[in-house]
Amino acid sequence: MRNVVIMGSGCAGNTAAIYAARANLKPLAISGKDAGGQLSLTTLVENFPGFPEGVDGPLLVQNMRKQAEHFGAEYVHGDVIDTDLSQRPFRLNVEGEWVETRTLIVATGASARWLGLESELQLIGKGVSSCATCDGFFYRGRKIMVIGGGDSAMEEANFLSRFGSEVTLVHRRDEFRASKIMLDRARHNPKIKFLTNTVVDEVHDAAKGIVTGVRLRNLQTAVVWEQEVDGFFLAIGHIPNTKVFKGQIETDPDGYILSKGGARTNIPGVFHAGDVQDRVYRQAITASGAGCMAAIEAERFLEAEGH
Ligand SMILES: Cc1cc2nc3c(=O)[nH]c(=O)nc-3n(C[C@H](O)[C@H](O)[C@H](O)COP(=O)(O)OP(=O)(O)OC[C@H]3O[C@@H](n4cnc5c(N)ncnc54)[C@H](O)[C@@H]3O)c2cc1C
């Protein structure tokens, strides 16, 4: 029987592990198949406080994990594939083996949606990004492309126009899901050019390990052409990793955990941390802060129950 089990080893899970370990709770962190989480996909992180020169994303999360292990956190590899949160102790199936715990911290993140092109996936963190706040600064005076047709695509395009020499917004339809106000703002921005009824067939240049351009195709005319691009930003949504709790932890219609204040979920003893609950900020530092909150809440919950 564990005091605290943490699901996920991104910024939120690792920070929760540091705090829970230093509270002497001997937490077990289930790292997930994508150990290190989303920061493992990127290269330089320039906005995590404490690193004036920036820090390599994978190194940052590895160091968080080392710090947690140093204080006694234990890690196991693999995904939780099934859960029973209907009674305490909570039960989690980790790739076939059941684990029991008094409290649970869910730090499973929200995965960015990619187009799924092989060339695009090879260039994630090397010019392909899902986070304008994180990576916009790298593209000062450069050519930027944003994919998407919703509010977040308009918001990212507007934000990125502060940096790029030009921003091309590519959308596969000619109608937009974005609200009128967001769409109008983007349409009136002189740096943003719209390409509708258009899809990306390939991102260049995977062989060079850097984005240099894209091959585009107009869905109505079938015309294919090349365009030079330095920064390629996806704004087609995120998928919160909450499937394994479906019907147990309350979520919004998109699957993000609904907070009941602080780090609490609808189930006493189950806490949320990081992007799995946060559809607004989605940053390494906010995820880490949320991991800290969840661990403190778990510790107080256990204390109140006399453990
Ligand atoms: C390419 C890229 C670049 C970025 N750059 C920056 C940046 O420069 N600065 C910044 O602040 N932010 C950046 N971000 C955003 C930042 O990475 C996220 O906000 C942060 O990683 C969220 O942390 P998290 O711990 O909540 O989730 P994640 O990092 O997504 O981690 C989730 C963890 O949960 C695990 N998991 C999922 N399902 C299960 C399961 N069923 N069982 C067990 N484990 C599971 C996963 O394997 C993973 O370990 C970037 C994101 C991307 C994709």
| pLDDT score of 42 more than 90 | no
Find out whether the beta carbon of 283 lies less than 6 Å from any atom of ligand 1.
Answer: yes
Whether residue 92 has its Cβ less than 6 Å from ligand 1? no
Is the distance from the beta carbon of residue 15 to the nearest atom of ligand 1 less than 6 Å?
no
> Is the pLDDT score of 75 beyond 90?
yes
Residue of 34, 56, 82, 131 marked active site: 131
84 upstream amide cis, omega within 30 of 0: no
Q: What is the pLDDT of residues 219-261, one digit of tens each?
A: 999 999 999 999 999 999 999 999 999 999 999 999 999 999 9
Atom number in ligand 1 closest to CA 276: 26
Tokens at 188, concatenated: 């009136």
Cα(131) to centroid(ligand 1), Å: 12
- Report CA(35)–ligand 1 centroid distance (Å): 9
> 169 is written with which tokens?
């917004």
The pLDDT, as a whole number, for residue 41 is 85
Query: Looking at residues 271-289, what average pLDDT do you find?
Result: 96
Q: What is the mean pLDDT of the chain?
A: 96
Which run of H or E residues covers position 111?
Answer: strand 110-112
Closest CA to 278 of 156, 115, 140, 108: 108
Å from CA of 189 to ligand 1 middle: 31
- pLDDT, tens digit, for every residue of 159-192? 999 999 999 999 999 999 999 999 999 999 999 9
For the residues of 173-232, what is the DSSP string, one character each?
Answer: SSS--S-HHHHHHHHT-TTEEEE-SEEEEEEETTTTTS--EEEEEETTT--EEEEE-SEE
Distance CA 224, CA 148 (A): 19
- Paired strand residues for 195: 170
